[in-house]
Amino acid sequence: MAEAIQKKLQAEVEKYTLMQKDVSKSMAARQKLETQLTDNNIVKEELGLLNSTNTVYKLIGPVLVKQDLDEAKATVSKRLEYINGEIQRYEAILKDMEKKSEQHRELLSSLQQEYQKAQGLAVGKV
Amino acid sequence: MAGKGKLKPEPLGGVVRLREEHKKVVRDCESRIQHWKKVSGDYEALSERLQTLPDQLCYDVMVPFGPLAFMPGKLVHTNEITALLGDNWFAKCSAKQAEKLVEHRMKFVKREIDELSKTMKNFEARVGFAKDLEISGSKEDYVDIREEDRNIDTALTKGKHRVAHKPNSKPKFEAVVDLKEEDEEDEEEGGDGGSRKGVLTEEELWARLDELEKLEELQDEQDRLSDNADMNGEDTSSLSSEEEKEGEAAPPVNGLSLKPSWLSAPHSKAPPTVDKKEEEEDDGDDENDNSCLPTIFFSHTVEPKKVRINTGKNTMLKFSERKEQKEHSKRKKKNGHNNGHSHHEHHKITTPTDIYRLFVDVKNGEPIPRKSILKSRSRENSVCSDTSESSAADFEERRMIGRSFSHDEATHSDTSDGITEEDSPTAVPLHPTSRFEAFSGTVVEKDPMPSAVPHLTIVPPALPTILERKQEEVTPDVAPPEKAPKRVSKFKAARLQQK
């Protein structure tokens, strides 16, 4: 009885750790997005400081490709929106995962209690 | 003893870990700050270089070839700079433009450094606290002291309120309905959404309040005489006075502390919308007697109920039941009714239904219950439902105007403005008859305008905006004739004609 519970506990613990890994992965991705967001914000502001006499280039692989200033501004804005959308998506995912991991945690704790009870019983019996 | 022994290690262990975590964060912040400082230093060097670079057309330099070799060469086109804007974007610009870019980035870096240093300070403080907790945990004295303070605090400041209020009233919007007379502590509840524990020490509070009341009354009179002139000036300035007051009130835990906050209350009456009103109300008891002073006081002899309604934008209207009762009785007398007393009782708000009972529209001396206190008051003034009238914008306008006016002066009934055009014309005719509307809350100026007071106390309308309007209406003597020509709904006009 106690052993069965123990096995169960182990399995649940593993699942929980997997979930935690997922959570941390999503968090890392979100962090990356955040840095990109700040980056793009700075680019946007700096593009605003320039005028049309300056040529704007975009680095695509090893090539610097000339771009129009207005085009560049539009592209950066679009990218910003995209990044914001991604961040929100990730936040939703994170929330979801948090909930699941909470449930899992509760399950784990209840299992642990059972296990302890079983242990106590086993000890008593012995 | 054994229990104590058990408890000791547990919090200690947790506290130690807490401290460790805090320290980690502090260290992390430090490293980040170092990083940003380095970046900042780099940018400064870059800025210097950019300034000197265009001095010459070309420079003789040793150009690095790979990691080990250099080659003599020339640096040309010294004013053309290709700058990385981030995220693989480049821009060709002159040295000066590049300098601008660098400045812009320096700002960002500075911001980051500031934020990080703030966080670091916070966490350092937390580390200190955790340390203290750890130390005191071993003594086991710390906790006790804390509890005492908390009790006292709640006793002094919050307890009374908690009894009758919802536990989650927010500081801004507080429908403070007290069934008890000693509401003098309402002043402090404004900002303290927190402790609902007062119920525990209610009785203590009651006793305390009684004492404090007496003391305050004495002091208020003295202080008022001396300070009124000075304080009036102060009032208009600080809308956040309530916070200050509460700040004053909160730290001093004993009953005496209440005095200063209360004393300040009469002084800070000018902004009627501010939460100070509670204090003002409290002072009302005292001040009613000393009406000779020009200061604006909230008259509130008996404080059966106080209702504070958030009229938005940091304004609060207080519904002074007493005033209403007064006015009610006066009106009733005028009309030859004897319902004053019944109204008096009705004014007690114990349940939401009471609100509906109280916030009724009085038309032709008879209370007509409103369908919804959330509906705009314009309905009251116009027979038909002029929902469009009391649009939010209007209310805001009036509110703002009312507020500004109310700040102005003591002599007139609260809202010196007649901006509520709709209401003002009706205000005049309505005054002679019983008026249940408008809420005398905020602006009511007590003693200087005893005549005005009756106008002010009107049935507590639910909507704060309406209340404000009413207050504004209250100055029928002053404003209405001017405003009458302004917008008057046909219904109002009809009514006016009737009257």
Which pair of tokens denotes residue B483?
Answer: 């405003």
**DSSP state for residue B154 in the 8-state scheme:** I
Q: From the centroid of its chain, how far is CA B275?
A: 6
Count of positions (residues) in chain A: 126
> Does the predicted TM-score (pTM) go above 0.80?
no
B100 contacts chain A (CB < 8 A): yes
**Contact between B211 and B255 (Cβ < 8 Å):** yes
ipTM of the complex, rounded to two decimals: 0.78
From chain B, the residues in CB contact with A72 under 8 A are: 89
Q: For helices B277-289 and B255-267, give the axis angle rounded to 10 degrees.
A: 80
Query: Which chain A residue's Cα is nearest to B94?
Result: A54
Neighbouring residues of A113: CB distance < 8 A, sequence distance ≥ 6: none
pLDDT tens for each residue of chain B, 499 residues long: 444 444 445 556 777 888 888 888 888 889 999 999 999 999 999 999 999 888 888 999 999 988 999 999 999 988 889 998 888 888 888 898 899 889 999 999 999 999 999 988 888 888 888 878 777 766 655 455 555 555 555 555 555 555 555 555 555 544 444 444 444 444 444 334 334 444 556 778 888 888 888 888 888 888 777 665 554 444 444 444 444 444 344 444 444 444 444 444 444 444 444 344 444 444 444 444 444 455 565 655 555 555 555 555 555 445 545 555 565 556 555 554 444 444 444 556 777 787 777 766 555 555 565 556 565 544 444 444 444 444 444 444 444 444 444 444 444 444 434 344 444 444 344 444 444 555 555 555 555 544 444 444 444 444 444 444 444 444 444 444 444 446 667 888 888 887 7
Convert the pLDDT of each residue in B278-308 to its tens digit: 444 444 444 444 444 555 656 555 555 555 5
Q: What is the DSSP letter of B290?
A: T
| pLDDT band (50, 70, 90) for residue A119 | confident
Q: Give the gap in angstroms from C-alpha A63 to the nearest C-alpha of chain B.
A: 11
Q: Cβ separation of A58 and B88 shorter than 8 Å?
A: yes
Residues B414, B442: Cα–Cα separation, whole Å: 7
- Three-class secondary structure of residue B360 per DSSP: strand
Q: What is residue B415's predicted lDDT score, i.e. its pLDDT?
A: 41
For residue B290, what pLDDT is reported? 45
The H-or-E segment that residue B27 falls in is helix B9-52
> Residues A59-106: pLDDT tens digits?
998 999 998 888 899 999 999 999 999 999 999 999 999 999 899 889
How many CB pairs (< 8 A) connect A and B? 58
| Alpha-carbon span B68 to B314, nearest angstrom | 69
* B406 membership: H or E segment, kind and range: helix B392-408
Decide: B412 and B445 in contact? Cβ < 8 Å. Answer: yes
Long-range contacts of A33-41 (CB under 8 A, 24+ apart): A33/A83, A33/A86, A33/A87, A33/A90, A34/A87, A36/A83, A36/B87, A37/A80, A37/A83, A37/A84, A37/A87, A39/B86, A39/B87, A40/A76, A40/A79, A40/A80, A40/A83, A40/B86, A40/B87, A41/A80
- SS in 3 state form for chain A? CHHHHHHHHHHHHHHHHHHHHHHHHHHHHHHHHHHHHHHHHHHHHHHHHCCCCCCEEEEECCEEEEECHHHHHHHHHHHHHHHHHHHHHHHHHHHHHHHHHHHHHHHHHHHHHHHHHHHHHHHHHC
Interface of A with B in 37-66 (CB under 8 A): 39-40, 42-43, 45-47, 49-50, 54-60, 64
Question: Is B93 in CB contact (< 8 Å) with chain A?
Answer: yes
